[in-house]
């Protein structure tokens, strides 16, 4: 491997991987090397630009911790997350579309019964959420496991509060529940509001340099699992939001945009007497049967 030039180095790197016994790993790494080298040649990458990129990725790693996943934010804002999500979740048009998981999902959220208030004190106007989970033939999906999470009215998720050294999470606006025998579910939460993704780190600096904003339109996250069906990770977006056409992570789909209906003070869907205005949201999800997976 002596006297390798800029014209022969790509083939030299590929030849060095010829002993890889993992076919998929060799396929992925071969394409990665080819595209990386082609990119460097196409833009005539300078040494200072290369070093800047190394330092940028180092900064992304340094700011990443249990409560903040900067690498996911980077993937999201470059459209890679949504590209991978879309090409891995092809399904019949009648099914609910998938979108990005995002960097703020955490396991271990508290379990709730239908009708409970999952906000657990999170700041925001009351919102009563209901819907139905069904299959392609409109059959109700009973006992489907639902994970739901959202930010508060200030644009923060529960995991963003507190200091990074504190491993304990005060779960708010996040929970798990199951569908009823008729496939329906209902719970109380708070009104979804638009918020900026964390932009005080390297990803934020990148967005600023590119003339892009960090805002996401108001949404509610859902992760739905049921035996015999493909899992569904998606959002439900609030209609009328100013960022629906410029989501910083490219996650909006028109089929996922829904009206959050405002109501004056009065009787809420669960019978509670509300002395402030409140909102309702109703959305039905259609799961793809596992045997229909492409």
Q: What is the DSSP string of the chain?
A: --S--TTTHHHHHHHHTTT---HHHHHHHHHHHHHHHHHHHHHT--HHHHHHHHHHHHHHHHH-BTTB-HHHHHHHHTTHHHHHHHHT----TTSPPP----TT--S-PPB--TT-B-STT-SS-EEEEEEEEE-TTS-B-TT-EEEEE---TTS--GGGSS-TT-------SEEEEE--TTSEEEEEEE----EEPP-SSHHHHHHHHTT---EE--EEEEEEE-TTB--EEEEEEETT-TTTTS-TT----GGGEE--EEE-SEE-TTSPEESS-EEEEEEEEEPPBGGG--
Rg over alpha carbons for the chain, rounded to the nearest Å, is: 23
Q: Which two tokens stand for residue 33?
A: 């090397």
Residues 253 and 131: their CA atoms lie apart, in Å, by 19
Question: In Å, how far are 17, 22, 85, 186 from 28, measured between CA atoms?
Answer: 11, 10, 18, 43
Confidence at residue 161, expressed as pLDDT on a 0 to 100 scale: 85
Residues 141 and 288: their CA atoms lie apart, in Å, by 11
Domain 70-292 belongs to what topology? Protocatechuate 3,4-Dioxygenase, subunit A (2.60.130)
Confidence at residue 165, expressed as pLDDT on a 0 to 100 scale: 53
Confidence at residue 164, expressed as pLDDT on a 0 to 100 scale: 45
pTM, rounded to two decimals: 0.90
Phi, psi dihedral angles at 281 (to 5 degrees) = -135, 130
Residues 208 and 144: their CA atoms lie apart, in Å, by 41
What is the mean pLDDT, run by run of 10 residues, along the chain of 294 residues?
89 95 97 97 98 98 90 96 95 96 90 97 96 97 98 92 65 97 98 94 98 97 97 97 97 97 96 95 97 59
Domain locations in the chain as residue ranges: 1-45, 70-292
How many C-beta atoms surround the C-beta of residue 93 within 10 A? Answer: 7
Confidence at residue 163, expressed as pLDDT on a 0 to 100 scale: 53
């Amino acid at each position: 491997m002596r006297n390798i030039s800029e014209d022969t180095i790509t083939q030299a790197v590929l030849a060095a991987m010829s002993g890889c016994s993992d076919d998929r790993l060799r396929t992925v790494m071969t394409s990665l090397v080819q595209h990386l080298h082609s990119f460097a040649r196409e833009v005539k990458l300078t040494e200072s630009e290369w070093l800047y990129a190394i330092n940028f990725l180092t900064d992304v790693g340094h700011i990443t911790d249990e409560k903040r996943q900067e690498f996911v934010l980077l993937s999201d804002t470059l459209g890679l997350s949504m590209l991978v999500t879309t090409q891995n979740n092809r399904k019949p048009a009648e099914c609910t579309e998938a979108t990005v998981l995002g960097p703020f999902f955490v396991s271990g959220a508290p379990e709730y019964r239908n009708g409970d208030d999952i906000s657990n004190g999170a700041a925001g106007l009351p919102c009563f959420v209901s819907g139905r989970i069904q299959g392609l033939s409109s059959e109700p999906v009973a006992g489907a496991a639902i994970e739901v999470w959202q930010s508060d009215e200030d644009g923060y998720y529960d995991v963003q509060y507190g200091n990074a050294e504190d491993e304990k999470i005060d779960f708010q606006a996040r929970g798990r529940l199951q569908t009823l025998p008729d496939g329906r579910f209902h719970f109380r939460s708070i009104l979804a509001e638009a918020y900026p993704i964390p932009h005080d780190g390297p990803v934020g600096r990148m967005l600023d340099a590119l003339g892009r904003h960090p805002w996401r339109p108001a949404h509610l996250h859902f992760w739905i699992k049921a035996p015999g069906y493909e899992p569904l990770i998606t959002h439900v977006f609030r209609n009328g939001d100013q960022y629906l056409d410029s989501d910083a992570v490219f996650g909006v789909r028109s089929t996922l945009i829904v009206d959050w209906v405002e109501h004056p003070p009065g009787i809420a869907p669960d019978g509670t007497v509300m002395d402030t205005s409140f909102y309702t949201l109703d959305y039905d999800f259609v799961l793809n049967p596992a045997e229909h997976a492409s």
